Chain A
Amino acid sequence: MVEARIVIIGAGPAGMKAALSLVEAGHRPVVIDEAQRSGGQVYRRPSPAAERSPRALYGFEAARAQRLHQGFDAIADFIDYYPETLIWNAEGRTLDLLYNGQNQRIAWSHLILATGAMDRIIPVSGWTLPGAYTLGAAQIALKAQAVGIGQSVVFFGTGPLLYLVAYQYAKAGITVKAVLDVSAFRQSVVALPQLLTGGRTFAKGLFFLAWLRARRIPVLRGITPVEIVAGTDQAVAGITIRTAGGKLRHFDCSGVGFGYGLRSETQIADLLELEFAFEHNHRQWLPVSDDNGRASTCGVYLAGDGAGILGADAAELTGRRAALVLRFDLGETELAAEIDTLSARLNAMRPFRHALDHVAFAFPERLARNVPDDVIICRCEGLRAANIRQMARDTEEIDLNRIKAFTRLGMGRCQGRVCVAAATAVLAGAATDMSSTGRYRCQAPVKPVPLRAFLGGCDEQV
């Protein structure tokens, strides 16, 4: 086995910043990322065939994105960077990778987990139709391939991403028919004092809203999605909602993007057997860490949205902090003051984030728990909400892993990454404590791996 390395998982803002901070001190980290190019979801770079200007891609964040990308590109010779590489398993102090179509293994001495996040969805009738995407996927299409999810689109759900994606689409010249937010306007009013602490981020939010309104794009608050409607071609043809006033309204469109905030990707942390705790603030089980981002296993550091959603700006800070704490643990004790400063800055960001994610754009708990019986929850296995509720009644179980065993919930290609958040809410039903459904355990592979990857014979070292 080759020498164990400092490994960073993820090349989004957290992973990139961590790499920069390690290279500063003369370390040569390994950076492993699933994407073709660095940047993560938020600063995703287009494939070479679909280049657009940073301004067009990142809007207000263009300067920040460029700075990050240039910084990361500048250290290319001082890191070992593996793009388009899936970490499909973690075992002890090794990682198993799918790299160039082959199974490979790498040993780590220190590990920075910057695994990022994905959309949290609530299924609605018609969400599995062609033309229905998550907000994140809608954004990826635009950033990576410079295409939209339809010629005329509706975005619905809640959260800051809802307005950002709508703005980006409209800016790119795609017809945005409506922006439909399940959060009520009064929630933003309640959250206002904390939101004001968000400064720049809050100002951007206000700008998107004003910009959309100025272009006469309908922005409705307090709505309830009823159905994504199929056309004769069995693809998205429109969406029906109920307004805050209780009236049914329909919007024709050829694509819909929806999402209800983000959830951390924790599969690798789970396979590493890190300790987890249920975080009510984040509505999910997360790996536990000390005040400075050290995980429960010695040598593992948590950074970015993978450790709880704090957004891109915070991800840069936690990424740098993870690297500094790692260096501190290797003997650079003089970094203590800077680490404390970073942690203090991060703590100062929390009230804004809380107001944003839990008050202004709170996850619509009731909507999630009351998904209608005939709506598909787990599309891989074709399970509807009724199937899950029925099994829970028949077996008197609300434990996710038991319901999985009985119904095949989450056993398909997504391995629960898409459906489990909704299934949790459906199972919790009337129960007040979301953690009562237990923690859905990750089993390797994190994402599907072709068996051909194992046929090379020798599992070479990276």
Chain B
Amino acid sequence: MNRFDVAIIGGGLAGCSAAFHLSKRGASVALLERGRCGAQASGVNFGGVRRQGRHPAELGIAQRSHALWKDLARLIGTDGEFRTTGHLKLARSPDEMADLEAYRETARTFDLELELLDTKSLRARYPYLGQAAQGGSFCPGDGQANPRIVAPAFSRAARALGATVLENTEVVHGRRDDGDFRLELASGQNIRARRLLNMAGAWGARIAAWFGDIVQEGVMAPNMCVTEPLPQFIGPALGVCGGDVYIRQVPQGSVIFGAGYGLADRDRVFARPLADVTAAGARLAVSIIPRLADALLVRTWTGIEGTMPDGIPVMGPSPSTEGLFHAFGFTGHGFQLGPAAGAVMAELALDGETPTEIGALAFTRFNRSSTATRTGC
């Protein structure tokens, strides 16, 4: 069989979750992944599962995802090592502390239970922090998980429900005629589907362009580092205002930190960490947690992530093509958002609408700006 109710391009976390949610509702689904499910940004990211600090346009979907994360074990048979450790965002100056206070107001309607900590209470509660940290905002419901296992687990759960998961399967072109999408595979075969979900991450804009939806999508490769296992001491996932470093300690004891960007080559599907970025990241991590100076770095890694010019993903119907829906360019936010992004896309494909607020993520926000740019020239 090569005709499906829905075809999904991209086996990242969001795409795998979409396949899962569609299969659960009985739709016939083909998930097409060029490499392996969860091998790029979904599988190699930091593993932070936080709502705190999210753009207001993302908070609706972040809240929905939060509920799914807590229910992961029941849904897909693994909890993905999700732990509600809380997320502590640190301020390194009075201005940044003011930003944290302002964010608490912005997010008030979303019930994140943010708790602001002054220098004294921060030191008392997290004595391992260095002098750089002057205050913080704690979100108790946020947490962390193991990115390497979540997307593959969603894809296996989808497969168990009947989804056709085709890995190592590259779609080289797609078009819509006679009301059907026709996807041409690198193997020469074709796949047909009534609806198409473009969830191709850093390659999403290229697929959108096949249908005349034009947007500039950037690319980044967050530079990730991990130490040898250390006795548990950190607790919450740590971030900073400005986001230039983030740190967490995994259940097995290793401390993961990310800072800066490695090399990302979208055309070769190749990414690697860079030594000078690793070195700068180590200095930042030690400035937050001085005792890390004596830890051993054992591994560095990265993966390719798509970025949008305004720093939030595209999600919603195609402006040009009926039955086509986009969700890509997650700009580093896709791990936490992924489970709900898949649920929302499944609803869009089957119902044409979703109860989750995604209006501010619509593709059309770029159509307007690109027209403006053209007029300006």
Residues on A lying within 8 angstroms of B by beta carbon are 88-89, 91, 96, 103, 105, 381, 395, 399, 402, 405-406, 408, 411-413, 415, 443-445, 448-452, 454-455, 457, 459
Contacts and interface: CB of A to CB of B under 8 A. Distances in A.
A413 B298 contact: yes
Contacts of A103: 275, 279
A89 B276 CA distance: 11
Interface string B269-295: 000111110111011011000001111
Given A105-B275, A395-B156, A455-B282, A405 B148 contact: yes
A443 B278 CA distance: 12
B293 A444 contact: no
B300 interface: yes
B274 A91 contact: yes
Nearest to B287: A455
A201 B347 CA distance: 72
Contact of B300 (A445, A450, A455, A459): A445
B290 to A, nearest CB: 10
B227 interface: yes
A91 B271 CA distance: 12
Contact of B148 (A406, A415, A448, A454): A406
Contacts of B227: 451
A402 B151 CA distance: 12
Given A103-B279, A413-B228, A452-B293, A408 B300 contact: no
Given A405-B148, A455-B286, A455-B293, A448 B298 contact: yes
B36 interface: yes
A408 B274 CA distance: 23
A411 B36 CA distance: 20
Contacts of B292: 451
A450 B296 contact: yes
A91 B275 CA distance: 8
B152 A412 contact: no
Contacts of A413: 228, 296, 298
B149 interface: yes
By CB atoms of chain A within 10 A, which of B226, B254, B285, B296 has the most? B296
Interface residues on B, range: 20 to 34
A451 B286 contact: yes
A231 B227 CA distance: 33
B36 A402 contact: yes
A454 B43 contact: no
B275 A444 contact: yes
A328 B125 CA distance: 65
B148 A443 contact: no
Contacts of B43: 405
B252 interface: yes
A395 B156 CA distance: 8
A405 B228 contact: no
B103 interface: no
A88 B252 CA distance: 24
Nearest to A441: B301
A450 B273 contact: no
A215 B243 CA distance: 69
A450 B293 contact: yes
Contacts of A450: 293-297
B299 interface: yes
Contacts of B156: 395
A19 to B, nearest CB: 26
A459 B277 CA distance: 11
Contact of B149 (A405, A445, A451): A405
A194 to B, nearest CB: 41
Interface string B104-122: 0000000000000000000
B231 to A, nearest CB: 16
Contact of B299 (A105, A381, A411, A454): A411
B258 to A, nearest CB: 14
B298 A412 contact: yes
A89 B297 CA distance: 12
A451 B295 contact: yes
B278 A444 contact: yes
Given A91-B275, A415-B299, A444-B300, 19 more contacts: A103-B275, A395-B152, A395-B156, A399-B36, A405-B148, A411-B226, A412-B298, A413-B296, A415-B298, A443-B273, A443-B299, A443-B301, A448-B297, A450-B296, A450-B297, A451-B285, A451-B295, A455-B286, A459-B279
